[in-house]
Amino acid sequence: SATIDCVGIHLDNMLSNGQLYVAMSRVRKIEDLYFFGAEMPLNIKRKFGADIDAVEIVR
């Protein structure tokens, strides 16, 4: 698998939680993981079923 120094994830274009998992797994350090989208963080919960507390952990 490819590891990337910095990852930006645009949630509006994600189609499944599998895509989100793979995108998140590519970053080397959690500090270098960024989320973008029109409705942050509500879009994550509605679209992928993620717990908002889990989203706060990665912030």
Q: What is the mean pLDDT of residues 7-30?
A: 83
**Residue with the larger pLDDT of the pair 39 and 22:** 22
Banded model confidence at residue 47, pLDDT cuts 50, 70, 90: low
Could you give the number of structural domains in the chain?
Answer: 1
Q: Is 34 helix (H, G, I), strand (E, B) or coil?
A: strand
Q: Is 4 helix (H, G, I), strand (E, B) or coil?
A: strand
Closest by Cα among 54, 57, 47 to 16: 47
2 belongs to a structural domain: no
Measured CA to CA, the distance from residue 9 to residue 32 in angstroms comes to 11
Query: Residue 52's pLDDT is what?
Result: 54
Least confident of 13-17, 28-32, 33-37: 13-17
Banded model confidence at residue 37, pLDDT cuts 50, 70, 90: confident
Domain residues for the domain of 13 are 7-58
30 belongs to a structural domain: yes
